[in-house]
Amino acid sequence: MAEERGSGVKIILALLGVLLLLVITPIILFLGAGDEKDSDPYAPCLIEGTPIGDASNKDESSVKIPEQYRDATENSARTAGLPVGIIAAQIEQESGWNPKATSPAGAQGIAQFMPGTWEEWGNVKDPFDPFAGLDAQGRYMKHLAGQIADLASNEQEKIQFTLAAYNAGAGNVQKYGGIPPFEETRHYVQTIMDNAQMDYSSDCEAPGGFDFGDLSTGEWAHPMPSSRLTSPYGARACPLSSCVGKPFLLKHEGIDLAGSDPYFYAPTELKITYVSVGAPDQLYGSYGNYIFAQMTEAPYLVFEFHEAQDHSLMVKTGDIVQKGTPLGKPGATGNSSGIHIHFQINNPKTSVFDRPAVNNGKTYDPIPILRQQKVNIQ
C-alpha cells in the first residue's frame, strides 16, 4: 500500500509540473516577444554590426539620448520642427549632455547659450537647468528655421540651413543663399548631420531624407569593399594642373575610393546606360574611362564610375547587372595622380545619363545614401 501511495504522489507531482510548464511557457514567450520588438529608436546606426564614424570608439550607451532627457529632447525637436536626432546631435556637440557645462567664451548649460541669447530665450530660468535649456533650444531653432525657410527646397536643406544659421547667423545664410563658405560652419553642419545619422538613428536613416524619394530597405553592396575614402563630396581645392597656385575651390560631385580591391562593383541592380570607348574618351576625357548606370527600381538613381583602368571595363551599354557584379578595375586614367574610382550619384530627373558630355544634373553626397543602405565608407 505504501508503494501505491508513493506512485500516486509521483504521478500527481508530475502532472502538476506539466501544468505549471504549460502556464509559465506562454508567459515567457510573451515577455520575450515584447522585448524583441522594443527596439531603441535612438541607438547608434549599426553597419555590419559595428558603429562607425564618430560612434566607432564609443560604448553604445554613451551615444544615445540619456534616459532622463528623452521626453525633453523629443519635445524640443517637436517645437523646432526638426528630427529628434538633430537636436540630440547638437546637444552632444555643444555640451556632451552635461547640464553644468561652460565654455571659455561664456556659453552655459546643456545647450550652451550665451548669456545675452539666454536672456531672450531662457524664460527667466536657470541656464544650468537642462530641461529649460532643451526647451529654449527648440524655440530658438524654430525661430532660425523660420528665417531661412524660403531658401530651402527640401527637408534636408531646411535642416542644413537651420544648423548653418545657428552657427553663422541667419543673415549669412540669407546672404549666401545657403550654407556660408566658412570652414567652421560647413564642418559644424556636416558633423551634426553625420552624428544624427550615425549616433541617433537605429536604422541609419539620413536626417530629412532625400528629395528623390525613399530607398528600399535592402542593403547595397560596397562599391569597393577594402577601400578608403580619399576625397569626399563637396568643395575641394582644384586638382587640375592648370589650377596650381590658384586658391579657388571646385565642387567634387562624387567621392573617391582607393584601396587594394582589384575591381569596383555594382552597389545594387543596375542597367548600364553608357560605357566609354577608347582612352581618353572624347566626351569625358578628364574623368578617364567610365560607366554610367541607372537603378532598375525606384527611385532610379543614376550612378557614375570614373577613372577605370584601360581595357578593364567588364560591361557594355544595355547590360543589366546584379548587386555585387564587378564592373571594372580602379585606375588613374583621368586627371588624377593615384589609382582609385570616382563614384557619383545623380538625380535621374535632372541627369542626361546617356549623354555624359551634357550631364549637368543634380548630384548627391553618396555617403549618407550609402550609410542608409548599410554600406561602411571609412
Which residues are catalytically annotated? Answer: 94
Interior angle at CA 180, CA 176 and CA 185, nearest 5: 165
Cβ-contact 185, 341 below 8 angstroms: no
Cβ-contact 147, 170 below 8 angstroms: yes
Cβ-contact 351, 201 below 8 angstroms: no
Distance, in Å, from the CA atom of 107 to the CA atom of 104, rounded to the nearest integer, reads 7
Beta carbons within 10 angstroms of residue 267's beta carbon:
25
344 bridge partner residues: 304
Task: Give the distance between the most distant pair of CA atoms in the chain.
Answer: 109
- Grid cell 528655421 is found at 145
Beta carbons within 10 angstroms of residue 216's beta carbon:
12
CA-nearest of 84, 62, 66 to 74 is: 84
Distance, in Å, from the CA atom of 253 to the CA atom of 273, rounded to the nearest integer, reads 19
CA-nearest of 154, 122, 135, 157 to 91 is: 135
CA-nearest of 177, 207, 174, 201 to 189 is: 207
Distance, in Å, from the CA atom of 338 to the CA atom of 334, rounded to the nearest integer, reads 10
Grid cell in block for residue 331: 585606375
